Structure 1
Amino acid sequence: MAGLIAGATAVALADDPTEYVALGASFSAGVGISPSAGGPSGCGRSTKNFPNLVADAEGFRLKDMSCGGAQTRHLTTSQTAGQPPQFDGLSSTTDLVTMQIGYNDGNVYSGSIADCSQTASGSSQLAPCEARTLGRYSAEIQVTAANIATAIAGIKSRAPSAKILIVGYPAVYPKQGNCPARNPFSAADTAFLDRLEVELNTMLKTQAQLADVDFVDTYGPSVGHDSCKSQSMRWVEPYSNPVGAIRLHPNATGHQQVAKAVRAALD
């Protein structure tokens, strides 16, 4: 591990490059960002996702197991044809693991978007979906906490020498206001969606701390670069007319910023 913490120079001089395994879903895979890394159909891995950017910059040997749509259960079960359980990438020789997963558990990500989408998105008087969903997604996030704890334990047992980084999710939505031309959510529902993401990141950080592994905050640095911002400012693409990534997911700049946060966590 000394070579890992020492940084890129030591790694570049090492005879045996650091073995890095990336676990996660679409926010890790870089779905929609060109060029494609190939791999199993439906996983949507990009050669410009943050795991590849970290590996290229640091001279690590990468096994990218991330796959769009993954839930924590897909760490130990096959998700789709050609995509084995993500934990299959781990071994006793693994030196570094990043895991960015949990948003899809309990259908929190897609379900909350579907529940909060509405035609009259510009009205701030519409009843927020927070009331319509009766706390269902917050409850699902708390259920997911046990899944994350189990996942971290699973990494430790399969890769006992690895440094583990639990990577949080960047800000998808603004904290205040809305952008009806870009996202089909009222201002109240936009604020609710942001609070859900904060709850998710808080849960991930708590589970990382309980397991004595590192948490990488990507939400804080990304505030002000959400999907409502202009194309030159945003790190996450909007629902309507996304450019260079799928909607409500990090774009190439977003992945560069996540890579920056992960590399900082290695120092």
Structure 2
Amino acid sequence: MAWRRTARAILLGTICVIAALIGAVLIVIVVQGKRKPDTSGQYVAMGSSFAAGIGLGPHAPGSPLVCMRTTGGYPHLLARDLALSLVDMTCSGSTTDHILDGGQMFLGPQLDAIGPAARLVTITTGGNDIGYIGGLIHASAKVSAIDHALVGKPPPVDPRAFDKVTGNLVRIVKEARRRAPLARIVLASYPPALPPSGSCPALGISDDAAAKARDAADHLAAATRKAARLSDALFVDMNIIGAEHGVCSADPWINGPAPRTGVPFHPNAEGAQAVADAIRASLDRSR
């Protein structure tokens, strides 16, 4: 019948349009990934989504789509405050391995942006190495049934993963220092999502799940602190500085599981500003 032929034609056309759009996006991702980074920046920021400012404003001009990098992340706030030219290499979903060796969706090493002109390098990473935020989102049940079926329950964190984070961070700092001998290098830990003890309705997770996530966050901060000590980098302990600003607090720096704006269990605008302020204060004290 004519209507069946018309329906098939519409379906085929729709499939072709979707395939073309997917192909176009993939081409953009590949082209962006192969682009060589600018190495003239006075300030180079590296790290994961906590630094990239995911969900905090306009897409950072020229940045890879896969990184979900915004102009509301703490690197942009800090660069404006210090009047430094910024090359922001932060990328949502990245690990310490990606900073060192690349491999994230065709992207090269984040370290490749560091040149001799750099006077400041900041690094906030490690959460994706241990599945920290993914575990929180899963525990809050803010994942679909399909995600549960395909991914299943997150495995427990291997204690060796924290040692790997420390080792990789030391390698990152040493390589950054080799490329930019005059740069001040800052390791900033993650602002905590959890209260010092227990849970609360705003978190949407059990006390047991909160305790496990808190333990992972504390160990990640300790791994970062150890790396800073071993590599003689400046350490900004947002895990301590933000202890009273978790999701359960009256003045949270981190979103809960279902925020009206932003991304679950990631910094809000106040949290990004707090990290920028803490790094600035630490730089001022260490002069």
TM-score by length of 1: 0.80
**Alignment check: 8 A CA contact 2:41 2:87 kept:** no
Displacement after TM superposition at 1:106 (Å): 4.0
Structure 2 residue runs without a partner (length 5+): 1-39, 143-153
Q: What is the RMSD computed on CA atoms of the aligned residues? A: 2.2
Structure 2 residue 38 is the aligned partner of structure 1 residue 53: no
TM-superposition CA deviations, 1:118-154 (whole Å, max 9, x none): 69xxxxxxxxxxxx966x3433212322111211122
Report what 1:72 is aligned to: 96
What's the % identity of the aligned pairs?
A: 32
* Amino acid in the other structure paired with 2:260: V
Higher helix share: 2
Structure 2 residue 266 is the aligned partner of structure 1 residue 249: yes
Aligned pairs, number: 232
Matches within 5 A, 1:79-158: 79-81=104-106, 83-110=107-134, 112-113=135-136, 116-117=139-140, 136-158=157-179
**Alignment check: 8 A CA contact 1:175 1:191 kept:** no
Q: In 2, Cα distance between the equivalents of 1:177 and 1:102? A: 24
Structure 1 residue runs without a partner (length 5+): 1-16, 120-131
Displacement after TM superposition at 1:114 (Å): 6.0
Q: In 1, Cα distance between the equivalents of 2:116 and 2:155? A: 43
Report what 1:32 is aligned to: 55
Q: In 1, Cα distance between the equivalents of 2:131 and 2:208? A: 21
Displacement after TM superposition at 1:45 (Å): 1.1
**Alignment check: 8 A CA contact 1:18 1:96 kept:** no
* Amino acid in the other structure paired with 1:69: G
Matches within 5 A, 1:147-186: 147-180=168-201, 182-186=202-206
**Match 2:43 to one of 15, 20, 32:** 20
Residue 141 and residue 115 in structure 1: after superposition, are their counterparts in 2 closer, same or farther (change >3 A)?
farther
Structure 2 residue 287 is the aligned partner of structure 1 residue 266: no
Q: In 1, Cα distance between the equivalents of 2:41 and 2:282? A: 16
TM-score by length of 2: 0.75
Displacement after TM superposition at 1:229 (Å): 3.1
Q: In 2, Cα distance between the equivalents of 1:79 and 1:152? A: 20
Report what 1:14 is aligned to: none
